[in-house]
Amino acid sequence: MTQIFAHRGYSASFAENTMGAFFEAEKAGADGLELDVQLTKDGEVVVIHDEKVDRTTTGSGFVKDFLFKEIRKLNANKKGLKKEQIPSLKEVLEWLQTNNLICNIELKNGLLPYEGMEEKVVQLVRSYGLSNRIIISSFNHYSIVYSYRIAPEIETAPLFIESIYMPWVYAQSIRSKGIHPKHSAMSDNIFTNTMDNGIAVRPYTVNKEADMHRLFNINCTAIITDDPVKAIRIRKQY
């Protein structure tokens, strides 16, 4: 059965990348979460999509210029009533110990170099004993290769915006057990061939019913969606 990963938590209805959105994804019955990480000035791994805090919080400026204690003062639920802090990765991992969710940690190290990010994430995942439930992904494929080198026990998955020739060969060559392509970038045939070659396929970000049907039909490994409730409802038909 195709697994359902809540993209930035249950972000269709709750503030993205907040503990509230993660709790609601679990309550909804998602199989996994997807979240994004950046580094603060003092090296804390924090859960936020953009390099800057402006779009999703009450603050402004780059995440890398905030101390952790400063960034925690911001409200990450700008449009909602209940205040949410930007979560630390530690906070999420601690909570993951209380459930069975899989967690896809996307390293947002494509634009800023964030030296040491891979080591920090790996060390945290190991310290919480969650290596077998974490998938590290990134658009930065150097980082994917490096993550595997320092932590071969943690699954990795390169992210793709466009199609590539025989993605399963590429994934095998960098020792990744999965690929995370933009859902519209690759054909059913490519997805099926990739899975037939033992590589998991978890396309993002699948929000339309028709796209969900397409991927449930081919028994895709997982879909990454903003709306796990909708996805679970549609998956019942398969």
The catalytic residues are 7, 49
Give every CB contact of residue 236 below 8 A, 6+ residues apart in sequence. none
Phi-psi region of 181 (alpha: psi -120 to 50; beta: other; left: phi over 0): beta
Binds 204: which of Ca ion, ligand G3P, none (CB < 5-8 Å by kind): ligand G3P
Q: Is residue 22 involved in binding ligand G3P (CB under 6 A)?
A: no
Phi-psi region of 7 (alpha: psi -120 to 50; beta: other; left: phi over 0): beta
Site string for ligand G3P, 143-162 (x = CB under 6 A): ----------------x---
* Stretch near Ca ion under the rule CB under 5 A, chosen from 15-23, 80-88, 102-110, 185-193: 102-110
Q: Residue 69: how many CA atoms within 13 Å on its side-chain side?
A: 0
CB 16 within 8 A of CB 29: no
Binds 89: which of ligand G3P, Ca ion, none (CB < 5-8 Å by kind): none
Q: Is residue 7 involved in binding ligand G3P (CB under 6 A)?
A: yes
Q: Is residue 36 involved in binding Ca ion (CB under 5 A)?
A: yes
How many angstroms separate the CA atoms of 50 and 63, rounded?
8
Q: Is residue 34 involved in binding ligand G3P (CB under 6 A)?
A: yes
Which of 9, 167 has the CB closer to Ca ion? 9
What part of residues 217-236 is at the interface with Ca ion (CB under 5 A)?
none
Which of 16, 24 has the CB closer to ligand G3P? 16
Applying CB under 5 A, among 106, 118, 155, 226 the residue interacting with Ca ion is 106
Site string for ligand G3P, 117-146 (x = CB under 6 A): --------------------x---------
Q: How far is the CB of 182 from ligand G3P (least distance, A)?
A: 8
Q: For every residue of 141-204, which 3-state class applies, written as one string? A: HHHHHHHHHHCCCCEEEEEECCCCCCHHHHHHHCCCCEEEEECCCCCHHHHHHHHHCCCEECCE
Place of tokens 């269709």: 12
Binds 105: which of Ca ion, ligand G3P, none (CB < 5-8 Å by kind): none
Please, where are the H alpha helices in 67-166? 68-71, 89-96, 117-127, 141-150
- Report the interface residues with ligand G3P, using CB under 6 A: 7, 34, 36, 49, 106, 137, 159, 180, 204-205, 224
